[in-house]
Amino acid sequence: MSATLEVAIFLSMNGKAKEAINFYKNHFNAEELLLVTYEDMAKRDSSLQFTDENKNNISHSVLSIGKTKVMLAENSMDTKEKYAVGNNTSLCIQSADLEEIEHFYKSLTTDDRVRIIVPLSRNVFSEAYGIIEDPYGIQIQLMYDARLLGQ
């Protein structure tokens, strides 16, 4: 296991991410480590669309609450599912070791009970990012993140 491996809690907030971020900052002294809006993401990937109504919605954010990272965004991991308490929480397993993330993905997807939501591939924010659902209904994001080397 690499020294950069970490697991963060990921919360989908059904359009209330900014409100939740302020709540956690106020009540838990959470520190905002990262905040990316839909408009920010569209600057990285011109195929992404946003409107005046949603341009300031949160695409991704990271808070530090003590030693724990909590990630928040507006939408759930599987955008085909209607938001419900239960599908609004996932785990984000990330590492600055690309081979480690690829190994986890390959291992998980050999189990026929695992559902692939987003195949592991490169996107605008990671060399390798994918989402699976384990046999117990837990959605798990796998992400290579070179920024973890600087911690």
Q: How is 41-85 classified by DSSP, letter by letter?
A: HHHH-TT----TTTTTSEEEEEEEETTEEEEEESS-SSTTSPP-T
Fold classification of 7-77 (topology level): 2,3-Dihydroxybiphenyl 1,2-Dioxygenase; domain 1 (3.10.180)
Domain 88-150 grouped into CATH 3.10.180.10: yes
Q: In the chain, count of helices (H) and strands (E)?
A: 3, 8
More confident of the two residues 43 and 86? 43
Q: How far apart are CA 38 and CA 85, in angstroms?
A: 23
Confidence check: pLDDT of 100 > 90: yes
- Whether the Cβ atoms of residue 120 and residue 129 lie closer than 8 Å to each other: yes
Question: For the chain, what are the domain ranges?
Answer: 7-77, 88-150
Question: Tens digits of per-residue pLDDT, 30-45?
Answer: 999 999 998 998 888 8
Query: What was the pLDDT predicted at 105?
Result: 96
Q: Mean pLDDT over residues 118-135, rounded? A: 93
Q: Do domains 7-77 and 88-150 have the same CATH topology?
A: yes
Residue 115 has pLDDT above 90, yes or no: yes
Distance in angstroms (rounded) separating the CA atoms of residues 36 and 127: 18
Element (H, E) at 114: none
pLDDT at 142: 94
CB 98 within 8 A of CB 130: no
6-19 mean pLDDT = 91
Check: CB of residue 59 under 8 Å from CB of residue 35.
Answer: no
Query: pTM to 2 decimals?
Result: 0.77
